[in-house]
Chain A
Amino acid sequence: MILVKDLSIERSNKKIFENVNLSLGSGKIILLKGKNGSGKTTLLKALLNLIEPSSGAIYWKGKLLKKNLYNFFNHVTYIADRTSSLSNLSVQENIKIWKKFFLSSISNSQVDNILETLKLDIYLDQKVNSLSFGETKKLEFLRLIIENKKIWILDEPLSNLDNESIDVMAQTFEDHRSKEGSIIFSSHQISDINVSEEVLL
């Protein structure tokens, strides 16, 4: 669905990467690998039309991404390397705000189930700023389920997670793949997530 053709990006006259080709179809998981500063985050931002490529183009459903932007946004969830939950509010309130904001049709029992597998259900009434960093990160992944979109764009989803949570993530990825969804994520650590393609930047 997403097609990246000969994408190169330079910022302040410094080449970040050159001639990247990607195609993200349904049921595909792409892993972006590379050193620090090799442009993993930049590529993901370019996919969201936040960064203007210096040459090459990105297509969404056969049309240029720029021309078809809001249609694309209807199908995509982006999770940055920072947490977007509101730190002054409790976990429950955050979930409620997300459910309203993303017009989610997901049921409460489903959310409770996921909270239990992520072991966040004991913190439900606590404020987010009392949680540890790994726990806020896990809370962030709840958005993937709440938003319920086809394409997931994830920036460093596996850092700061314990092995158990990484297994949960791998299971979630598999479920998403079996539902014809597609994932593109960046990581610099080795994991046993079953990816269909690796791109080295």
Chain B
Amino acid sequence: MIFLVNPSKFNKVADYVFLPVLILSIILFSIGLIFAFYLSPDDYQQGSTVRIMYVHVPSAWLALLTYVIMSLYSIAGLAFRIPFGFIINTAVAPIGAVFTLICIISGSLWGKPMWGTWWVWDARLTSVAILFIIYVIIIFINLSFENRIVREKVVAIFILVGSVNLPIVKFSVDWWNTLHQPATISKLSKPSIDPSMMTPLIIMTFAFIMMGIAIAILRIKTEIISRKSYLS
């Protein structure tokens, strides 16, 4: 697992992994989209709009997962002085921002037919919007500092301070009475979702993960090359 903290090892592993991951993500996307649009049933309440879920839920999960990864690498960078953590932070932040944006847009498209409005100010929606703004601030900090050492450490500190938002996003549906439905899939209890909808959801989730990994590999490799002299 040393390739997760060492840039040159990461480069080697990434060279092997990149093409299979990309192909796998394309295959999973095609299967998943066929499942999502033709093979899965309509919801008895929501009708055909439930199919938005197959984009909305995986992107929401990945938006949170990306932030968790960034927090872990920030701790690694600050506490254990692993510079690779800072590389991950710069490389991965835009990916997380895009996932959050996909989540917000698809959710608002879903909300219009179901709730009758594009946007409501409830806890889940607001906290996800704040998550998006935090991602944008991270990108802006990356752009506006000139001194690289200061910049990457400030970004890491900001990510750690901003991670207080994560539990709020996750548990907002349980803590407050929100319009947004509570989580249907959880580890502890039997999922309250039908297997025929579960299959495409899982396939789509893996497709999103593979796509995310493929883009992340590309961005991390660029980042490593751009500061090669500093790391060698």
A interface residues (Cβ-Cβ under 8 A, vs B):
12-13
In the complex, what distance in Å separates the CA atom of A15 from the CA atom of B188?
55
User: In angstroms, how far is the closest chain A Cβ from the Cβ of B151?
Assistant: 12
- For chain B, the count of residues having a C-beta within 8 Å of the partner chain is 5
User: In angstroms, how far is the closest chain A Cβ from the Cβ of B165?
Assistant: 32
Residue B2, interface by CB 8 Å:
no
Which residues from B are CB-within-8-Å of A13?
229-230, 232
Listed from nearest, the 5 A-B pairs whose CB atoms lie closest are A13-B230, A13-B229, A12-B230, A12-B148, A12-B149
Which residues from A are CB-within-8-Å of B229?
13
A to B contact number (C-beta, < 8 Å): 6
Which residues from A are CB-within-8-Å of B149?
12
In the complex, what distance in Å separates the CA atom of A12 from the CA atom of B151?
13
User: In angstroms, how far is the closest chain A Cβ from the Cβ of B86?
Assistant: 13
In the complex, what distance in Å separates the CA atom of A28 from the CA atom of B161?
47
In the complex, what distance in Å separates the CA atom of A86 from the CA atom of B76?
40
In the complex, what distance in Å separates the CA atom of A12 from the CA atom of B149?
8
Can you list 6 contacts pairing A with B, beta carbon distance less than 8 Å? A12-B148, A12-B149, A12-B230, A13-B229, A13-B230, A13-B232
Within 8 A of A (CB), among B143-177: 148-149
In the complex, what distance in Å separates the CA atom of A12 from the CA atom of B227?
10
Which residues from A are CB-within-8-Å of B232?
13
In the complex, what distance in Å separates the CA atom of A13 from the CA atom of B232?
9
Which residue on B lies nearest to A52, using beta carbons?
B81
Which residues from B are CB-within-8-Å of A12?
148-149, 230
Which residue on B lies nearest to A12, using beta carbons?
B230
Which residue on A lies nearest to B230, using beta carbons?
A13
In the complex, what distance in Å separates the CA atom of A12 from the CA atom of B230?
6
Which residue on A lies nearest to B149, using beta carbons?
A12
User: In angstroms, how far is the closest chain B Cβ from the Cβ of A78?
Assistant: 21
User: In angstroms, how far is the closest chain A Cβ from the Cβ of B90?
Assistant: 16
In the complex, what distance in Å separates the CA atom of A13 from the CA atom of B229?
7
Within 8 A of A (CB), among B217-232: 229-230, 232
In the complex, what distance in Å separates the CA atom of A13 from the CA atom of B230?
5
User: In angstroms, how far is the closest chain B Cβ from the Cβ of A46?
Assistant: 15
User: In angstroms, how far is the closest chain A Cβ from the Cβ of B148?
Assistant: 7
In the complex, what distance in Å separates the CA atom of A13 from the CA atom of B231?
8
In the complex, what distance in Å separates the CA atom of A140 from the CA atom of B28?
70
In the complex, what distance in Å separates the CA atom of A38 from the CA atom of B230?
20
User: In angstroms, how far is the closest chain B Cβ from the Cβ of A55?
Assistant: 15
User: In angstroms, how far is the closest chain B Cβ from the Cβ of A69?
Assistant: 19
User: In angstroms, how far is the closest chain A Cβ from the Cβ of B209?
Assistant: 35
Which residue on A lies nearest to B148, using beta carbons?
A12
